[in-house]
Structure 1
Amino acid sequence: MMEPATLAQILAADPLEAWQAAIVARLDALFPGVTVKAHPGKIDISQMIAKTIVPAPGIAVGWSRVRSIELINGMVDLTVDWAAYIVVEAKAIENRAVDRDRLGWALGYRMMMILADREETTWSLNKITPPAEQPAPQLVPLYTVADEGRGVGYLAATWSQTLVAQGAGLYDAPAPMLTVTIDDDGRASAEADFGDNVPIEVRDLWEVDP
């Protein structure tokens, strides 16, 4: 059963803000010279055109959906759909002119390589799975007629990751003491000592069949 929580407690328990901040911080370190910022959700392309989200070259990181999976122990896995929106325009790099599309692909390619790195995609956090294989991370161009003549391009790298074992389980106490015995046929059986006041549904979770 859920207990009442104040707004301060609800904010303190929110894992998404810290996760998003960790992604932004790591991408900022991996993309020197590129502005990386957090964004609170799906991108409004008109805002990107007006450069109110992030200047070019830049990356805006946000999430678009959260799905929950209830586990047998009462805890919950949260699968989050993330997006890194890449904004580019023609730029002189080391005295060489680089067009919008060339720069956009280069940044998008590096983003895909980062998402393929299992160590990087923990974002230095615990209980984070690698990006899902289905749907796999993908990079897609975004197109707006209104901005075609301004020389600005947009791409979106998207991926899904899961934050595991959230919330309180049915049995938030030390594991029961197990006594294992072997019968004459070599089959093992176990008996659990839970102590007092443990719900029957929790006992059922620990039952071990021979």
Structure 2
Amino acid sequence: MSARYRPVSPELLVEELTERIAEHASGDRVRVAVDGAGGGPAELADALVDPLRVLGREVLRVSAHDFLRPASVRLERGRHDPDVRYEDWLDLGALRREVLDPAGPGGSGAVLPALWDPERDRAYRLPRTDLPPGAVLLVDGELLLGSGLAFDLTVHLWLSPAARERRLPAGQRWALPAYERYEREVRPVETADVVVRMDHPRNPAVRVSPRA
């Protein structure tokens, strides 16, 4: 059976996701992944901050882009290797150790908001942020699912192959095979808790659960 999608406005999408996040018990920290290619995940994660704060939830925004490996590792096989983009760009261990585990059940709540500046290729050396019970951690990034990262809610912004190629900057299109591999191996449309079709950002559509 082919997937069904329900059209929504961008504003309604933010409202529905805010409600979904707020359904988690107010005493528990909630770790949310907003996953997808291009800039859409960061924009959506940013849009969720104020509505969640209006509901009384403290929010911390973290970008997986600030947890990339040093250039000596990322670029060891050249600047345009899609397999390295898929397998070795993100420092999974650091993201678990510094962000997701402290924000998880039994964690200290002391989260490092950013680790590595990929432009300057050096550590940020930022202080930790203390997340109280009930806080929401919003992590945006690409290729986040299927790697064992512990999130309480996962949102995947799906782009058709044509839309990915159209919306990625020309200098990033070398990474298209990495996203194609992600689709084949991880199947994020099937594994994410919420899937949003984003071929046209002003006209998103939310995947309807087969049980709905």
TM-score (norm 2): 0.27
Higher strand fraction (1 or 2):
1
Q: TM-score, normalised by structure 1?
A: 0.28
Task: Considering fraction of residues, name the structure with more helix.
Answer: 2
